Structure 1
Amino acid sequence: MSTYFRVDGGSNSITNYYMGQSGKEKDWSWDANVSRNLSGDFKDGDGITTPSSSKSTSTNFKITKKLSDKHELTATYDSYKADYKYTALWEPALKNGKVDNQNYKFILNSDFDGNTTNVLSFVNLDNDTDFNGYKTKTNTKRITDQLSTQLGNHLLTAGFEFSHDKVITFNGKKMMNRAFFLQDQFDITDQLKLTAGVRHDNNSGFGKHTTPSANLGYTFNNDRTNVYVSYSEYFIPPSPSNLYSAAYGNPNIKPETGNTKEIGINHKFDDTFVLSAHAFKRYSENRIGYVYPKYTNVGDEKARGWDIQLKKQFTPQFSTYVGYTHSVIDATAQRAKNVDGYVPKGAWDIGLDYDNKDFNASLIGKGVIDRMGPQSADAVDAFFPATTYFVWDASMNYNVNKNAKIYFKVNNIFDKFYAEHSNARYNWSADPDGQWWRAPGRSFLVGMEYAF
């Protein structure tokens, strides 16, 4: 049995407490933890203070009972409760919010003979939000069963899913979805593998939909290179929040359907150097999105893009990675290119890691390339304070002994002034400086963890 406690604090009135315990006794095992998180006003990279406050509590509990050599039952409970206030500089007063989300699940795992397994689960989700007086309360119940069996070169998976949604704050409005699925993972040869499947949904509000998928992959003889090509179709019914959120809901939304085509390669130059690259093309009908002041169908959408990642282990202690993603999303009937310019044309992920027994450190960089905002008739010159920028974070951990650890983090090291959201589109005649949802500037966090 292990019990652990963590406390940290730093800039922006941040204080966090975390306590947990995990253990095992005969046929029982468990993991439980609770955390309390507090934060306040923050300064952006321009030195301007944004009023903000948040008080949240998270509780998580998991317990597993081994029923026999073939079966085990797991129960989990998760809770998140929060009170928060926030504003943007253009708003006249703080907005208030409350969240009270709770869910529990039961999972029965069965392994009958080493070749046949089954996972049966029941999930209950209760979501209760209050957005500045707009209250939305929903309940979701879901039952899923998935049976897998190995038959020669085929791994067959079949199952069903039944979900029931109830919007309590919308006169108890109910929605149901029934789905059946089948998949075959076929090892044609040692190098060539085909995975194909089909899913059939029957939705109480949006009818029947069948969505196939297939993935063909080939691994070369040296086992260092794998290539694949895939095709999949999808059906996404509007969520209860999309339809009936008190603040943003729209009961007239249609389901989103579409397909995605993808190709990719994974190559290992040696045991220390790995490359991955992928390209995709997606077509969506009745794309679901947010257009002020509510969720809606933004129209048919075409998207395409590619990404590449490199990982290198220079020494046993030092490693690095770099990745780049390029996205092109065509304009729709209601949104400009790249989702009103919110999705950047390019994005970088860069990391450096050092791990030497009792001390480890990391440096992480996130780069945004050409987040332009809506390039349309109602666009403004300064929709965002920066359209291309990097934000760098760092952390260090030191194990004082086998029980105690201290750590230090700094976010936005170079105090970059940027924003990821903006109100400039709707108040284009006003000074755009006051229309940005400013992101936090440089901040620090120091903490300790003790286990016994």
Structure 2
Amino acid sequence: MFNFILQSTVINIITKKVDKNQSKIRLESGSYGTENYLFMNEGRANSWSWRISTQKDLLSDFKDGRGVTTPAALNANTNSFKLTKEFNANSDLTFIYDTYKADYKFKSLWDNRLKKGTSDNYTAKLIYNTRLGDTLTNQLILSRNRYDDQYQQESGSYYMTQVETTKISDQLTKNFKDIHIVTGGFEFTEDKVISFANKKLTNRAFYIQDQWNMTKRWKLTSGIRHDDNSGFGTHDSPSVNLGYQFGKNTNMYAGYSEYFIPPSPTNLYSAKYGNPNIKPESGHTSEMGINHRVDDTMVVSAHVFKRYSKDRIGYVAPRYTNVGDEKANGWDIQLKKQFSDAWSGYVGYTHTNVDATAQRATNVDGYIPKGAWNIGADYSKGKWDVSLVGKGIIDRPGPLTADAVSNFFPATTYWVWDIGMNYHVKKDVKVFLKVNNIFDKFYAEQSNARYNWSTTPNEQWWSAPGRNIRIGVEYSF
């Protein structure tokens, strides 16, 4: 049996329960000064459970596929703490606290000096789940997070963007004899832009969704969300999805949804790239899909979509802006095959067309390729796990406009292959090897060539790392 998923307003968060006591240590080293260290501990004692982890990541200069060195540096620390108290079989309370701190350096394309930056972010969250009866559940979430980013400008001075967000949400779900599953709730979000005179932005939202199992074959899921934004007024976003199960091996669906995206605090008030005059983005998406199990070893899925966006939000140097109304359509097909107990593979292709807007050329200045392939093969037997992954980018020419330059990207069609191998020395010890960009392909996914900051386009490529190797060990106890 297959299940389709409707993109909707439901925000239910499911936290993975800890069912045993264990710890894990992972050490990793490799090309470009890469060093990663991880320690994790999780456990349970009566009605209490926890998960704690800390990770250190280091990175320095890297070389692209040409062998050209790009100055870079990263020194990052990621910490996570989760504590859950189960009051009884029907209710539990979870506290989550995550932090990320980093110092980084990079070379900008239009200035040979090394730029510096720092990030200091945290998220704190309380999640209370309760079952009020056999058919009624509720989830209450309180959260606060802070984004604090500083960056050195070409002049040597710093600018900062600091945003603190408080969010409260509650969601109630009622099951009416498995025929109607109705979910309703509200969200309140307040963003305080500390770096912009404590400017406050609020959004209140209410939503309801009904999953109607009309028959054993037909399912209709519909809903609506109402947003009331302090800066951009009110907006209603309906959605509907109709699914049909042909038999145990095939189903298909058709859906329509509308959306409303107000500008983020960073879009509006980033110290360097913000634009207070941005309008909210809205639009609608239509899609259809089918999933079919050919036999016990092979599954095929395909879907098509069409999207219209009004006042699309994006970045056009030197700041965030509305890039105009945008139309997009596309399709994809995916195939997964289990060849034997040890071997499996998959292949997928996605085709995307995005019309030009007043600010951007076709396919978002070429950043979205017209075609993208994903191919993979997996082997798992005994002590070995091996995975080979290929990514193919097809037809990415860059902007075809009056201000376009030749060689906007160093390669418009290319393939990048990665391989990873795990060897289980024993039950609790695993060594691993990763080789990324096996064939040392020279390519770039970002470019500033259209702005003519340099007369030489290839000095404007944000080239990707060339072939690099990582090796490590993981010990669980």
TM-score (normalised: structure 2)? 0.93
Which residue identity is paired with 2:30?
G
Task: Verify the 8 A CA contact 2:108 2:115 in the aligned structure 1.
Answer: no
1:446 aligns with 2:466: no
> Taking structure 1 as reference, are residues 446 and 429 closer, same or farther at Cα in structure 2, changes over 3 Å only?
closer
Work out the percentage of aligned pairs sharing the same amino acid: 57
Which residue identity is paired with 2:296?
D
Task: Verify the 8 A CA contact 1:45 1:416 in the aligned structure 2.
Answer: yes
> Taking structure 1 as reference, are residues 85 and 413 closer, same or farther at Cα in structure 2, changes over 3 Å only?
same
Q: Is the partner of 2:268 in helix, strand or coil?
A: helix
CA–CA distance in structure 1, aligned partners of residues 334 and 473 of structure 2: 33
Which residue number corresponds to residue 129 of structure 1?
149
Alpha-carbon offset, residue 88 of structure 1 = 4.3
- Map 1:161-310 onto structure 2 (within 5 A): 161-220=187-246, 222-310=247-335
Which residue identity is paired with 1:117?
T
Alpha-carbon offset, residue 89 of structure 1 = 5.5
- List runs of 5+ in structure 2 lacking aligned partners: 1-20, 153-157
- Map 1:353-364 onto structure 2 (within 5 A): 353-364=378-389
Which residue number corresponds to residue 10 of structure 2?
none
Deviations 1:239-258 (A, max 9, x none): 00000011210010000010
CA–CA distance in structure 2, aligned partners of residues 223 and 114 of structure 1: 29
Which residue number corresponds to residue 39 of structure 2?
19
1:118 aligns with 2:144: no
- Map 1:34-433 onto structure 2 (within 5 A): 34-88=54-108, 90-132=110-152, 133-152=158-177, 153-220=179-246, 222-427=247-452, 430-433=455-458
CA–CA distance in structure 2, aligned partners of residues 376 and 411 of structure 1: 34
Deviations 1:279-305 (A, max 9, x none): 000001110000001000011110000
Q: Is the partner of 2:450 in helix, strand or coil?
A: coil
CA–CA distance in structure 1, aligned partners of residues 334 and 203 of structure 2: 38
Task: Verify the 8 A CA contact 2:273 2:320 in the aligned structure 1.
Answer: yes
Alpha-carbon offset, residue 114 of structure 1 = 3.1
> Taking structure 1 as reference, are residues 76 and 448 closer, same or farther at Cα in structure 2, changes over 3 Å only?
same
Q: Is the partner of 2:266 in helix, strand or coil?
A: helix
CA–CA distance in structure 2, aligned partners of residues 120 and 392 of structure 1: 44
- List runs of 5+ in structure 1 lacking aligned partners: none
Task: Verify the 8 A CA contact 1:50 1:89 in the aligned structure 2.
Answer: no
Task: Verify the 8 A CA contact 1:88 1:438 in the aligned structure 2.
Answer: no
Which residue identity is paired with 1:356?
K
> Taking structure 1 as reference, are residues 308 and 417 closer, same or farther at Cα in structure 2, changes over 3 Å only?
same
Which residue identity is paired with 1:167?
V
TM-score (normalised: structure 1)? 0.98
Please tell me the root mean square deviation across aligned C-alpha atoms, in Å.
1.0
Alpha-carbon offset, residue 429 of structure 1 = 6.1
Task: Verify the 8 A CA contact 2:110 2:454 in the aligned structure 1.
Answer: no
Deviations 1:286-334 (A, max 9, x none): 1000000100001111000001100000001110011111110001111
Alpha-carbon offset, residue 435 of structure 1 = 1.5
CA–CA distance in structure 1, aligned partners of residues 136 and 47 of structure 2: 22
Task: Verify the 8 A CA contact 2:373 2:391 in the aligned structure 1.
Answer: yes
Q: Is the partner of 1:169 in helix, strand or coil?
A: helix
